[in-house]
Copies of this chain bind each other. A is one copy, B any other.
């Protein structure tokens, strides 16, 4: 293998430091989706910065994280009584920024299992975050979600 990346945009990806960051972000989303699926709004709020802005997948205007959590949890209501939701994130791209924040992009799925009948895919989305380190952990400062059925 001729490592040709010196001077290219991929240069930083060679370093174990980037791998450590990427894995942290994977684990961040694993925790975050687990919290979302247990409808724990207190812990969910704690995954955002205090002044976070959400752009939900609808024509509605961006909202602050506090009020926006209702919007974020809307699939739980849409899924119907007795249903279980299961969120899933993948296809993660992480771009470290000069100011120390991370610009991330990923695909997000929501599976719903109704009280009767088998599971199905409810939503297919793209989620774009700005993550910042704040009070000891990564938190979402800005989130934009685009749903394939609304795009």
Contact = CB atoms under 8 A, between A and B. Distances in A.
A66 B33 CA distance: 33
Copies in the complex: 3
A5 interface: yes
Q: For the side of the interface on A, what is the size category?
A: 35 or more
A20 B13 contact: yes
Given A111-B124, A113-B149, A90 B92 contact: no
A18 B23 contact: yes
A19 to B, nearest CB: 4
Nearest to A99: B1
B84 A151 contact: yes
A148 B23 contact: no
Interface of A: 1-5, 8, 10, 13-20, 22-24, 26-27, 29-31, 33-34, 84, 86-94, 99-101, 105-107, 109, 111, 113, 118-124, 132-137, 148-149, 151
Given A16-B16, A118-B121, 10 more contacts: A16-B20, A18-B23, A30-B91, A30-B105, A33-B107, A86-B107, A86-B148, A111-B148, A119-B121, A119-B149
